Amino acid sequence: MLSHSEVYANKADQIWRTAQPYIADRTLAAAEALFHASDHLEHLKAPPGPPPPPAEDVSRHLAQVYFRTRQADYFLQEIHDNSASPLVSLARQYYQRAVQSYDRSDFRGADEYGKAAEELVKALEDLAQAATLAPQPRR
């Protein structure tokens, strides 16, 4: 994810130089969302900090994440760039890990995996927003 984040951050810098600030901003937002997703996964490697949210809160959040992951295909379609397709798969994988963690009563893992999946979908949404304003090739 960090490599994807770096790619999109560099792309945002290039777009900024072409005087397209909104597209650059959305591309940079995607890079940041990928960085945040990676950060949530890093939290799982760290010693446990504060207690995780209550099971009911995690369950409610996972229901929201489920619907966000359902939007991933639409966002990918709007991006018009298949290089972002691994992000859809990753979002689904991390959502599934969140559910599996929840089923094992690992609410910390469920929370962090759910947040990672959510950030991946946010990255796709940001890229879709950038793509809607980008000049499309003539057919």
Which tens digits make up the pLDDT trace of 2-39? 788 888 898 898 888 888 889 999 999 999 999 999 99
Closest among 11, 40, 50 to 101, alpha carbons compared:
40
As given in the structure block, the two tokens for residue 19 are 């005087």
In a domain, 138, yes or no: no
Residues 66-78: pLDDT tens digits? Answer: 999 999 999 999 9
pLDDT the model gives residue 137: 54
Number of domains composing the chain: 1
Q: Residue 85 is part of which domain span?
A: 2-133
φ, ψ of residue 71 to 5 degrees: the values are -80, -10
User: SS3 breakdown of the chain: % helix, strand, coil, rounded to 5?
Assistant: 80, 0, 20
Mean pLDDT value across residues 25-54: 92
Prediction pTM value: 0.90
Tell me how far apart the alpha carbons of residues 17 and 19 are, in angstroms, rounded to a whole number: 5
Mean pLDDT in the chain?
Answer: 92
CA dist 46 to 68, 69, 121, 128, Å?
27, 26, 24, 33
